[in-house]
Amino acid sequence: MALVPYVENSLPILSKFHNASARFRFCNHDITIAQDWKKLGVAAVVWDAAVVMCMYLELGHVELKGKSAIELGAGTGLVGIVAALLGDCRLYFACAKVTITDRLPALDSLSTNVKANLPPNISELATVSELSWGENLGSYPAGGFDLVLGADIVYLENTFVPLLKTMEHLCSDATTILLSCKIRYERDNTFLDMLKQRFRVKEVYYDEERDIHIFKASKVLQNMDL
């Protein structure tokens, strides 16, 4: 997560980010996300990559019920909220457990959005937690998650190594990573190349209208000597 200054005379394409809230409907729920660009910049607005990730999850290609999921760089928390709603267990025996993370400055607004949009029976299964990539990873179980989610988290080159380190810590051999992103710069492709050195990666979805790619990754299994 990068904090950027608020600029009053922003480009027209960015005007939606200056709205106090953004509204969506996923999983038969109306979701209202509070935004505050002036305070937190990119961490406090909903980006297209998050919307496309939610659309992809709602299509049902990834099973969430009974799974343990973690969202990295959650920002407003939209993806984590939708993951928790999709993991609702009222009609099932096992619920999803969703950990929604970001750096400390974003946690207050993140927590507010999560609490405002999850029914009581689901909210207790969604945890908002501080996570700065590459730091204090022992606070999270090694290989302890079935699903790792990230929407528009690949954009600062100096975060690539700690982000990969964090992914490697959180993933077991059976973990699935889903990354939703817009390829804006060559450095974004550089990250994908770095990811492919440690994980099996394939593109599983593309939203042409928003120019958003979703990549699925899993750990490369090392051949064991006989």
Listed in order, strand segments (DSSP E) in 27-161 are 29-34, 68-72, 97-102, 126-130, 145-151
Pair 68, 220: CB distance under 8 Å: no
Domain boundaries, the chain: 46-219
For residue range 87-133, list pLDDT tens digits in order: 876 545 567 899 999 999 999 999 999 999 999 888 888 999 999 99
Interatomic CA distance for residues 224 and 214, integer angstroms: 31
Taking the C-alpha atoms of residue 160 and residue 139, their distance in angstroms, rounded to an integer, is 20
Q: Is the dihedral of CA 113, 165, 170, 57 positive or negative?
A: positive
pLDDT in tens, 22-68: 999 999 999 999 987 677 667 678 999 999 999 999 999 898 988 99
CA distance 219 to 141: 16
Task: Assign domain 46-219 to a CATH class.
Answer: alpha beta
Q: How far apart are CA 178 and CA 211, in angstroms?
A: 16
Single pTM value for the model: 0.88
DSSP letter, residue 8: S
Distance (Å, rounded) from C-alpha 125 to C-alpha 68? 10
Q: From CA 84, how far away is CA 27, in angstroms rounded?
A: 10
Question: In this structure, what token pair is assigned to residue 106?
Answer: 């974003």
